Amino acid sequence: MDENLMMIWQKCLQFMRDNLNAAEDNSDLKKLEKSFDLLFDKVQPISLVDNNLTLMVPSDFYKEYIEDNYLSLLSAALKKNIGKGVKLWYSVMENKPSGLEKPVTMNMKGKTVPTPKMQETMPQGFSSNIVNPFVVPGIKKVNIDSNLKADFSFDNYVEGESNKFASTVARSIAKRPGATAFNPLFLYGGYGVGKTHLGQAVGLEVKSHFPDKVVLYLSSEKFIQQFISAAKAHKQTEFANFYQMVDVLIIDDIQFLSGKSATQDSFFHIFDYLHQNGKQIILTSDKAPVDIMDIQDRIVSRFKWGLSAEIKSPDLDTRKRIIVDKLSRDGIVLTEDMLDFLAAEAKTNVRELIGVINSVIAYSTIYKSDLSLELLKETINKIAANQKKIINIPYIQEVVCEYFGIKREQLLSKTRKREIALPRQLAMYFAKEFTNATFTKIGEEMGGKDHSTVMYACDTIKDVSKIDKEVKKYVKELTEKIKH
């Protein structure tokens, strides 16, 4: 064997070994290196001619394993030590016939791939929000946007009897993510009680104390969307590789995995990998684990591995302290009777309470008036009057049906006739534009359509309205009708 070729190959192996995924501890790293060495100890370079490198491998299995798991990393190593445009060939040993000293080989060309640039940050245009953020297997972790909001910190989280237990557990996890018995942490409760805030607070605290850890927050709807795109592109492995990099995974509204069997399968394997490797998982839901319908039993059982903590609607005392905390940050002080009035008006959840507070601040600023009990009552009355005019999905359906002269039953039907299908897509598009409903919720309101159907409708209307004058006209006129 050419000594120069052997030196080049050893440099390539060292480069690949140096860029194996960083492990959390030395034992994991040693296992990774041992697996790497076992594979490449049986791989030998036999020629390098005109930028054609031929590797001798024991069998097809070795060739396929290298192509599936190390091709991009090997490509980077070849570029560094040989140069651009290296073509890879394999000489695969077959069974040695009796009487032959040398094994019979079969030459096979390797896959041609662009040589990746070694990087420690996301490529331009990549973020954790895109359809499917992939990384090159075997290369160092990349930096990703955690999708965390600075306002959702523990400092801004007001504890009360309704959330004290969940908050205490969350703070404990933030100090030792993945190393407590609370993994996963399953937070459940009604709409707007602070589940998202608490989950993100853990993420922010982890990033503050462990800046090297990869923290990712996303909605289950985004997770489903990414998985569907990955499946269509036959990139499920890359999809899983990305999530296996995460140290703290926070998924909101996990109940929307209900009925999504393929996505559940992928989530199950990601969950198992993260849990087995000491990574922290935090999930939120509007239901307790046992109450979520159409979720695989094996997933529900894993929800129970850690701790389920319910967050209830805040009691009067907690609501008052939330009001004081929020307004004090804006330099506003209320009298006790004003505080009692506000807290009594917003009984359902924290989000409603914050909405009332923001409205009070806005009215006070606009009218340059000192806050008084009378102003508060006037503000609340105006909010109540405006709520009667809230644009919701049934209202949008009514406007669209009237505009096209069709019945609501037709709009919600399964017919694909253009005279019905287009109004239906427009109704879905406007439901997403004018309401806070999720794709799943819109689909339910539109006759039980799948969330992917709603996503497709929204994208279609956006695209077609740019090139089709008639659809553009529909969008413009219906927008005005819905608003007024």
CATH number at residue 425: 1.10.1750.10
H helix or E strand, kind and range, residue 53: strand 52-57
The answer to the question of residue 38 being in a domain is: yes
Nearest to 230 by CA among 191, 192, 200, 265: 265
337 plus 377 within the same structural domain: yes
The answer to the question of residue 225 being in a domain is: yes
The answer to the question of residue 136 being in a domain is: no
pLDDT 10s digits, 359-416: 777 766 676 666 778 877 877 777 666 555 568 898 899 999 988 888 888 899 888 8
158 plus 302 within the same structural domain: yes
The predicted structure's pLDDT at residue 139: 39
Statement: residue 140 has pLDDT above 50: no
The predicted structure's pLDDT at residue 267: 96
Per-range mean pLDDT, top range of 81-95, 124-138, 271-285, 463-477: 271-285
- DSSP 3-state of 367: coil
382 plus 423 within the same structural domain: no
What residues are designated binding site? 192, 194-196
The predicted structure's pLDDT at residue 119: 29
Mean pLDDT, residues 167-176: 95
Q: How many domains does the chain have?
A: 4
The answer to the question of residue 97 being in a domain is: no
The answer to the question of residue 248 being in a domain is: yes
158 plus 297 within the same structural domain: yes
Statement: residue 352 has pLDDT above 60: yes
The predicted structure's pLDDT at residue 52: 85
Asked if 220 contacts 258 with a C-beta cutoff of 8 angstroms, the reply is no
Higher pLDDT, 29 or 79: 79
Q: In whole angstroms, what is the distance from residue 112 CA to residue 89 CA? A: 10
The predicted structure's pLDDT at residue 411: 93
Statement: residue 100 has pLDDT above 80: no
pLDDT 10s digits, 46-83: 888 888 888 888 776 677 778 777 888 888 888 888 88
Q: Give backbone dihedrals phi and psi of 320, rounded to 5 degrees, phi first.
A: -65, -40
The answer to the question of residue 162 being in a domain is: yes
User: Which strands form 215-219's sheet, in the order they lie side by side?
Assistant: 215-219, 248-252, 280-285, 185-188, 307-310
What range defines the domain where residue 378 resides?
Answer: 316-386
The predicted structure's pLDDT at residue 29: 63
Residue % of the chain over a pLDDT of 90: 31
- CB-neighbour burial class of residue 117 (10 A; exposed 0-12, middle 13-18, buried 19+): exposed
Please give the mean pLDDT across all residues of the chain. 80
Q: Of 292, 310, 328, which residue is a domain's last?
A: 310
What residues are designated binding site for ATP? 192, 194-196
173 plus 303 within the same structural domain: yes
Q: What would the two tokens of residue 73 be?
A: 């990393």
Please state, in angstroms and as integers, the Cα–Cα distance from residue 452 to each residue in 194, 257, 306, following that order. Answer: 28, 13, 31
Asked if 210 contacts 228 with a C-beta cutoff of 8 angstroms, the reply is no
pLDDT 10s digits, 173-226: 999 999 999 999 999 987 778 899 999 999 999 999 999 899 999 999 899 989
248 plus 348 within the same structural domain: no
Higher pLDDT, 65 or 320: 320
pLDDT tier at 458 (50, 70, 90 boundaries)?
very high
182 plus 304 within the same structural domain: yes
Q: What would the two tokens of residue 327 be?
A: 């307004």
Asked if 149 contacts 304 with a C-beta cutoff of 8 angstroms, the reply is no
163 plus 300 within the same structural domain: yes
Q: Of 277, 310, 343, which residue is a domain's last?
A: 310
Q: What one-character-per-residue DSSP string does 418-481 give? A: HHHHHHHHHHHHHHHHHS---HHHHHHHTTS--HHHHHHHHHHHHHHHHH-HHHHHHHHHHHHH
Count of CA atoms in the C-beta half-sphere (13 A) of 179: 8
